[in-house]
Structure 1
């Protein structure tokens, strides 16, 4: 046992030794502690990166992670917001918001200073705070990389144990307790002294950039020369940002520097040997360069005098004449980084009036001094508080200091679904989710957020068409999905041309699309309730319908339920009927496919043959017949038979020309995608399938009844052939679409009952 224990102890000791070795190597590789001379060499090698402002650093964080193309003429997205954070995961959607933040940062960098607070405003649950958290998380990860290194500094004063002979300035002893040149490293620095040799270590509470320790005008001359060498320009042509030329040291650091400079008779090199360069890493958790001001907090920066501090007491006597103050608070913690005001407008106006001057001048008035600040100010608020804020007399003053960025709810079901991926994965461990349950819920959610289009906003040729656009069709348009059979081919093409205008119709307005509607927080609560529904073993679409009906009954709780319907919009209860119809149609198609009376590819082959003949007919070309090995005219009988099935209206020539136009339009919108006939002509494929199923209606009904009879007393009256057909359909529903038998049976009952209620033949 002792040996076993010893082995365990040895293993633990080895593990600790290996851990120590790895961290020591990592520490040295990251160059966390440096003498000033080594830091200056890093600046010479990379002057722009190590002298950039907080705004430039944040902009560079965006650039570092890069962008990705969203495809289908949807622009690009900053990968910074795809980073998977532990608690909340990546940000879904929000590309216009992210682009606006980036553009504001670019403006700050171009003008050389931050003079506005970026205020993200939108409805509750629209990812305002999550967007800021994603930026903070990106800054933290970027600061851990060599190209994202940021530095501050400490003052180091050795103790008597580390000395051998008195050190004098030209004017005599200066009170360092007999410091010797032997205590310095090869750079003449005390930065790397062991802690036992240090009497006093004074940190920089504002995390001042060490570059400000170089006096002007040498600082400007050196940086011009180094930047010019990197850019291949003349030093006089280099444009330095304004913050480089400022006196960037805090009052405490400035006083220490000046007193040391006096003691050393103006020898800056001797002053700089007391400087220990320290790399820091942004951290939201530990409030390093990133801090949050909560609504209940009233004081964002305070200052206290240091009297009993050991480091102060052990400082050289020539520095005892300085009154030492330590600045504290969120403003100080966030310097060189990001400061977030959470729910800014919930605070009393007097508690943030100071921001008018603080943001404009990038400085804060403290009892002992006015401190320069280098940070990006961000804030969040909801629309109710912003509307109230706009009515106060001081709003005009604040408006000039705020950069307002609207953060609406998501308007595309596919994006909305991504918000709840983690929630559904967690809930599925105890209660499985049936196919389409989440998707239908998200379709309902985004429909509650849509505004009715204003036909007067469009040219007279399009007004009647835009007026026909209902919420479900709008969701399909935003998703770039087919709009038929609600709209004809020509109408769909026109709506696709107007898509961007329709999406941007209310941008910039007070009542914009995505300001109202079901919040993601409410959807998450509904998912939780659905998973706890004791009447169902699986979260099926029917459970979702049940919970939605319960939610829409109490209009006093949810603001979006209090809107009076306009046309087909703002009618949450009616939207439940829309998704019920949709699920009944979807499940019917899936069940018919699962019956496998005709192989799925046969429908697609028939459609492809039809399209091939239509194209040849319109272009007056011939089709190569592989059987006869000859070119033949388009098959009129085939085209007429299909057109009879799909029930075209008007002349066949115009219909066929419209088919060709659809192909051309799709190719313009998707120049790089492979043509998928069944997707482009999804409506025609569905009609062909429906026609075939209608011809086999009696067989389908027998299988439906057999499926319901399985496992009940009625099973005895079902033939073996029909039982096997029913079991095979259940197996195919599971294999192809993911329905277990319980959810499939429940869905079948719903579909038959719902179709009967709306008088649709099944």
Structure 2
């Protein structure tokens, strides 16, 4: 295949009919018929944004009956590239504002202010909304239309602010037109409303044509061409972005447009709308959305423009009367800038017109892990990432954001686990809600995901000789980076973050010790033999019988030492042993009634106890501590290789990371054995 045949193949898949349908053009009368069939094409910007979000549907949050997730914020149309993890409540609050604005309850006359620390997804939310509107405007459900004026030479002068065609209907005729458009619609169905006026240029042309047709406005509308409108940030159609710059190089005309001085000579006046460029960010964002980046860093003069744009839905271009706009105004800012706004008494009017939505850092461990998994996975980084590497990095970052619990006896790490869905004795779902209620600003301070992402990236670059990235590489990189972190305000806080590194190192140690223990004790046959022996003794004990010794054939008393050595592994006290043993036998009996066979794997506590007992029995035979001295005989090496293969097969390690973990855990046991010897 050559280039020409490739292009022909692509061309054959194009459909001219679909193109013409998507790029529909028609007369004003045809547009009226279209509106009567599909009144949603006349929706306001807020109504369109709300419908866009709801079009992707919702789903419940597991374990949270009062929370729902909006699939739109998972970024399903872009393979989750900008998907937002966690932040369920802030996103619910944001969508509720859009819903109230769509119903015209008053929030459509406010500036939406996303407020939170750096790196908390404020810009991502804005980007999702802007990109979503672009996509939605190209769907049948999200269609909207604008108009232009036919000229004598056959050209068309398109409305520079992409206004709604129905705004051309004179005020005194709008009731009759809307009655026609809404005829036959029920009380719960969408109703067409005509609000606002066209831009100064279209208003000027309308008056000219009205003179031409002796005041017959219906003939003026005969000069109108209506076309489908596609919103596009790159083309500056319906989507605007404004960000602070140097005060000397920025003025308010960037928001509301400016005079075209070259055309003044042609039209003779700087107040002629034909000599004006309606290309300010407010002008181009009409019918869509405008994003104000770091909005509170703007000069006060710009903030005044926001007042009219939000409350009155009007802007004031230079030399012209106030002009109607229909746009969602979305700004975002961080905590220091917001505090400055609160302390500025001159900005009381803006504060009164602002709806603040807090966008904190993620405080649920599983959500934070997903943030890093999106960017750091074997497919993307082309390198093995050892188990728990991203989990430990996420654990540290979340711990920096949590406030110390007021509940006596609850550690910060336990609080993190409760937030992540782990159950702890004495804590109910209501207790966890209470923990959250006690800390209203939790998540508004702490370490940004960006810092952690930078340190993971550094670890990947600096450890090029390693085949696997492990938690210690990342933790060491993060701990070293704290010394140069410019957003940590005090040495006291810096030291607290260092201490939290030690907390997660200890937690990691417990995790890998448990994994190595389970890998050593995952000899299926040995576990089943141990379980059968335990059950035989428990059965004899509860029924006051004797047990036949399988070696001597003699009947003996139940082996209390064996039973207690297993039960003590899961903290069954002496006073509770009878109850526990009866529970086991009752459980086995219930299974037998249903015709089922008992399997130790169906009882999580018993499985854990058996594995820990088997580990203790086998630890010395494997001689794990010999790894530390590097003196390993052939028999021991074979056993260690079996354990290593289990770590690789069952837990996701590669050869290097499995070896590292075994050596690390071996060093822990070696230190423990040395301490025991000293005590003796």
The normalised TM-score by structure 1 is 0.74
1:528 to 457, 460, 485: 457
8 Å CA contact retained: 1:128, 1:407:
yes
SS in 2 for 1:448: helix
CA distance in 2: counterparts of 1:517 and 1:650, whole angstroms = 45
Report deviation, 1:250.
1.4
- Determine the C-alpha separation between the residues in 2 that align with 1:606 and 1:449: 44
Residue 685 of structure 1 and its aligned partner are, at CA, apart by 4.3
Partner of 2:590: none
Structure 1 Cα separation of the partners of residues 122 and 439 of structure 2: 20
1:518 and 2:447 are equivalent in the alignment: yes
| CA–CA separation in structure 2 for the residues paired with 1:292 and 1:337 | 11
Aligned to 2:127: 133
Equivalent of 2:429 in 485, 496, 500: 496
Equivalence map 1:676-755=2 (5 Å): 685-700=607-622, 702-703=623-624, 705=626, 714=631, 718-719=633-634, 721-755=635-669
Distance 1:580 1:17, change over 3 A: closer
Worse overlay, 354-363 or 750-759: 750-759
- Quote the residue 1:573 is aligned against: 498
Q: Name structure 1 gaps, 5 residues minimum.
A: 1-6, 160-197, 314-319, 455-465, 484-488, 618-634, 664-676
- The 5 Å alignment of 1:302-381 reads 302-305=257-260, 308=263, 324-366=275-317, 367-381=319-333
Aligned equivalents of 2:600, 2:360: Cα separation in 1: 34
Q: CA deviation at 1:748?
A: 2.0
Which of 512, 519, 524 does residue 594 from structure 1 map onto?
Answer: 519
- Cα distance 1:527–1:249, how it changes in 2: closer, same or farther (>3 A)? same
Contact 2:315 2:323 in 1 (8 A): yes
User: After superposition, what is the alpha-carbon deviation per residue over 1:665-702, rounded to whole angstroms, capped at 9, x for unaligned?
Assistant: xxxxxxxxxxxx999975664344223322333124x2
Q: Does 1:30 align with 2:22?
A: yes
2:91 maps to which of 88, 98, 103: 98
Cα distance in 1, alignment partners of residues 529 and 481 from structure 2: 42
Kindly tell me: are residues 12 and 742 of structure 1, through their superposed partners in 2, closer, same or farther at Cα, counting changes over 3 Å?
closer
SS in 2 for 1:221: helix
Aligned residues: 628
- What is the correspondence of 1:5-24 to structure 2 with a 5 Å cutoff? 8=2, 11=5, 14-15=8-9, 17-18=11-12, 22=14, 24=16
1:109 aligns with 2:61: no
* Mapping for residues 381-460 of structure 1, pairs under 5 Å: 381-425=333-377, 429-454=381-406
Residue 467 of structure 1: aligned partner: 408
TM-score normalised by L of structure 2 = 0.82
User: Take 1:27 and 1:576, find their aligned partners in 2: how far apart are those partners?
Assistant: 58
Task: Flag the 1:679–1:324 CA change in 2: closer, same or farther, 3 A.
Answer: farther
Tell me the CA shift for residue 348 of structure 1: 2.5
**Cα distance in structure 2, aligned partners of 1:480 and 1:351:** 46
**Aligned residues of 1:561 and 1:572 also touching (Cα < 8 A):** no
Q: What's the CA shift for 1:265? A: 2.6
* Structure 1 residues 642 and 368: CA distance shift in structure 2, 3 A: same
Rounded to whole Å, the distance in 1 between the matches of 2:304 and 2:526 is 68
User: Secondary structure, in 3 states, of the residue corresponding to 1:249?
Assistant: coil
Identify the match of residue 203 of structure 1 among 158, 172, 192: 158
Partners in 1 of 2:324 and 2:352 — Cα distance?
Answer: 21
CA distance in 2, matches of 1:604, 1:152: 79
C-alpha distance in 2 between matches for 1:603 and 1:377: 66
Distance of 2:137 and 2:162 partners within structure 1? 14
Q: Structure 1 residue 248: deviation in Å?
A: 2.0
Whole-angstrom distance in 2 between the partners of 1:659 and 1:282: 66
CA distance in 2, matches of 1:761, 1:482: 33
SS of residue matched to 2:54: helix
How far apart are residue 636 of structure 1 and its match? Answer: 13
Shift of 1:87: 9.7
Matched, 1:648 2:572: yes
State the 1:227 CA deviation.
3.0
Match of 2:137 among 131, 135, 143: 143
Distance change >3 Å, CA 222–CA 642, structure 1 → 2:
farther
Aligned to 2:595: none
Q: Structure 1 residues 681, 390: closer, same or farther in 2, change over 3 A?
A: farther
Q: 1:52 is matched with which residue?
A: 43
Per-residue deviation, residues 131-159 of structure 1 (Å, max 9, x unmatched) = 11111122122111111101111111243
1:498-524 superposed Cα distances (whole Å, 9 cap, x missing partner): 1122123223xxxx1111111011011
* Cα deviation code 1:99-130 (max 9, x no counterpart): 11111122223336621101111100000010
Q: Displacement, 1:352?
A: 1.9
Offset from partner CA, 1:340-386 (integer Å, 9 cap, x none): 11001122223322322332111111222210111111101111111
For residues 385 and 141 of structure 1, do their structure 2 counterparts lie closer, same or farther at Cα, with a shift above 3 Å needed?
Answer: same
Given the superposition, is the C-alpha separation of residues 68 and 636 from structure 1 closer, same or farther in structure 2, using an over 3 Å criterion? farther
Residues 354 and 482 of structure 1, relative CA distance in 2, 3 Å threshold? same
Partners of 1:266 and 1:658 in 2: how far apart? 97
Q: Distance in 2 between matches of 1:433 and 1:384?
A: 37
Q: Which secondary structure state, in structure 2, belongs to the residue aligned with residue 394 of structure 1?
A: helix
Q: Structure 1 CA distance, aligned partners of 2:349 and 2:422?
A: 46
- Determine if contact 2:479/2:501 at 8 Å carries over to the other structure: yes
Q: Deviations over 1:181-216 (max 9, x none)?
A: xxxxxxxxxxxxxxxxx1x32111111101122334
